[in-house]
Amino acid sequence: MSRGVRVAIAGTGFIGAVHARSARLAGARLVGVAASTPERAARAAGVLGAERAFASAQALVESPDVDVVHICTPNNLHVPLAEAALAAGKHVICEKPIALDSFGAQQITDAAADADRIAAVPFVYRYYPTVREARERVRSGVSGPARLIHGSYLQDWLLRPEDDNWRVEEDLGGASRAFADIGSHWCDLAEFVSGQRITRLCAQTLTALPERIKNESHAAFQSVDGDGTPRSVGTEDAAVVQFETDGGAVGSTIISQISAGRKNRLWLEIDASNEALVFCQEEPESLWVGRRESATLIKRDPEHLSAAAQRYAVLPAGHPQGYADCFDAFVAEVYDAVAGNEPAGGLPVFADGLRASRITDAVLTSAREERWVDVMIEAAGVTG
């Protein structure tokens, strides 16, 4: 792991704390944090173990004492902060979606290329050892080419009218909510494992709750008073997407933030010519492998995984690894790349964030116009 990289985090909510933990474990110096107010930043600096609180995000990204900027703010601030950080010569880790639409995503992807800086996006589900094992089975030809790609990503945290978050507000989160937030993860994982890209899709979206009770202060970065009054909602609670790929596969996914009892159920199945592969994020210690004559579980056992998966299996078999371990591995690889070391392969970068934005735009267009829509794939795609 790289030591001594100087990092700062803009945005101090749940995900900002996750970034801070991984930064410390990677041996970085957490130089500072910024929040919606200097007072909130000061409190967060103490909680997260930062050396200082910046008065603003702009001051943070311009500081000469920072090498890597982590952007964990509401989505509407991603593009201006990423642009400012890259212009100041910083490397960037930006939460997804990296922009409100593909135009903004293209803008900062180009800016990262022009600045010759590392610009990464936390598609961290790539870092489960069982995901790497599935990808290696497809890449090596053991599974055969994918024919069907299907699954879902289901949550329930916005099930009720009183469930509120800044992501609900279109001016802060963007025109898409559920799909941009978690559908992007599912599509990235499907393309990463299968080696195929979604080229064409047909989508339907659902806003089950056209009104919600405004009750959150958005303390992560925006000061918006929650006064308990109803407000209209324009972003989707769920999406159903059917698609085709450049490798001849067809597939579908259901994305939902209103599925009662489902906390973070990302399910991906690849039905290939020789075998089927199933990964479930809530049960990540096993990869289900189905063949006509049998169905088996490949356990996350470093002694029996492929070399591609062993790298990320950092604990002995029977000692569960989870989401935080994936985030740790991702952040450590970014810092290693910043230090000049070649990534192992599969580091998700802004081109992958642009890819996700293009798929999201296609989903919204398809749902709005009730037709199949082509997905742009030029200058973007799965890395590694």
pLDDT tens digits, 257-288: 999 999 999 999 999 999 999 999 999 999 99
Q: Region 156-163: what's the mean pLDDT?
A: 95
Residues 6+ apart with CB under 8 A from 76: 100, 171, 172, 173, 174
3-state secondary structure labels for all residues of 324-352:
HHHHHHHHHHHHHHHCCCCCCCCCCEHHH
Q: Region 18-24: what's the mean pLDDT?
A: 97
Whether residue 69 contacts residue 90, with contact meaning beta carbons closer than 8 Å, is answered with: yes
pLDDT band at 373 (very low <50, low <70, confident <90, very high): very high
Q: Which fold has domain 6-120?
A: Rossmann fold (3.40.50)
Residue 376 pLDDT: 86
pLDDT band at 215 (very low <50, low <70, confident <90, very high): confident
Residue 378 pLDDT: 57
Give yes or no for residue 231 having a pLDDT over 90.
no
Give yes or no for residue 221 having a pLDDT over 80.
no
Q: Region 318-339: what's the mean pLDDT?
A: 96
Who has greater pLDDT, 17 or 215? 17
The rounded percent of the chain whose pLDDT value lies above 90 is 89
Give yes or no for residue 220 having a pLDDT over 80.
no
Residue 2 pLDDT: 52
Q: Reduced to 3 states, what is the DSSP secondary structure of residue 101? A: coil
For the chain, helix (H) and strand (E) counts, in that order, are 12, 17
Q: Reduced to 3 states, what is the DSSP secondary structure of residue 186? A: helix
Residue 377 pLDDT: 73
Residue 216 pLDDT: 58
Residue 339 pLDDT: 92
Q: Region 243-253: what's the mean pLDDT?
A: 98
Who has greater pLDDT, 255 or 383? 255
Residue 325 pLDDT: 97
Q: What mean pLDDT value characterizes the chain?
A: 93
Residues 6+ apart with CB under 8 A from 116: none
Give yes or no for residue 381 having a pLDDT over 70.
no
- Out of 3.30.360.10, 3.40.50.10090, 3.10.20.30, 3.40.50.1950, select the CATH number for domain 125-318+348-374: 3.30.360.10
Give yes or no for residue 219 having a pLDDT over 50.
no
What is the distance between the alpha carbons of residues 301 and 313, in angstroms, rounded to a whole number? 7
Residue 224 pLDDT: 47
Give yes or no for residue 50 having a pLDDT over 80.
yes
R_g of the chain, CA atoms, integer Å: 20
Q: Which helix (H) or strand (E) holds 19?
A: helix 14-25
- Enumerate the β-bridge partners of residue 6: 29
Q: Region 183-212: what's the mean pLDDT?
A: 97
Q: Region 15-26: what's the mean pLDDT?
A: 96
Give yes or no for residue 382 having a pLDDT over 60.
no
**pLDDT per residue as tens digits for the range 103-128:** 999 999 999 999 999 999 999 999 99
Location of each CATH 3.40.50.720 domain in the chain? 6-120
Q: How many CB atoms lie within 10 A of CB 229?
A: 9
Q: Region 310-314: what's the mean pLDDT?
A: 95
Location of each CATH 3.30.360.10 domain in the chain? 125-318+348-374
Give yes or no for residue 380 having a pLDDT over 60.
no
pLDDT band at 227 (very low <50, low <70, confident <90, very high): low
Give yes or no for residue 379 having a pLDDT over 50.
no
